[in-house]
Amino acid sequence: MMRATNPVLAGLGVAAAALAALATEPRVAVAGTATGESTYQSSCVACHGADGAGVLPGVPDLTSTDGPLALADAVLVKRIAEGFQSPGSPMAMPPRGGNPGLSDEDIKAVVRYMRQEFAIR
């Protein structure tokens, strides 16, 4: 695909393509086009972090064996869709991670993604 053999030129090509994509892609995921990964990266990563360990106080570690991912899919999908705050928690999770454009299918896909990606350590 990339014709340039010089890695600097190749990198510039990739950067230009990324900028072009940013200029034309819609910001909010359109139902049916998002993958679990793209949904996580757009709507969840800011609080949960790239590795799922959580980057803000009150955000649970999704990689822990007895953490939230030990719960059933239906429980997780409902809590992600409706928002969630456990008793005494310093911070609530907003419904759909704050992205009303997420469909129920997007949420199911992101749960599958988290289960694959954040292998219990």
Q: CB-wise, 35 or 84, nearer to ligand HEC?
A: 84
Q: Which of 18, 28, 55, 92 binds ligand HEC (CB under 6 A)?
A: 92
60 touches ligand HEC by CB under 6 A: yes
Q: CB-wise, 13 or 99, nearer to ligand HEC?
A: 99
CA atoms within 13 A on the CB side of 58: 11
93 bridge partner residues: 84
- Separation of alpha carbons 13 and 37, rounded Å: 24
**Whether 70 contacts 44, CB under 8 Å:** no
Closest distance of CB 37 from ligand HEC, Å? 11
CB-CB neighbours of 61 under 10 Å: 18
Q: Which residues bind ligand HEC (CB under 6 A)?
A: 39, 43-44, 46-48, 58-60, 68, 71, 76, 79-80, 84-86, 89, 91-94, 96-98, 110
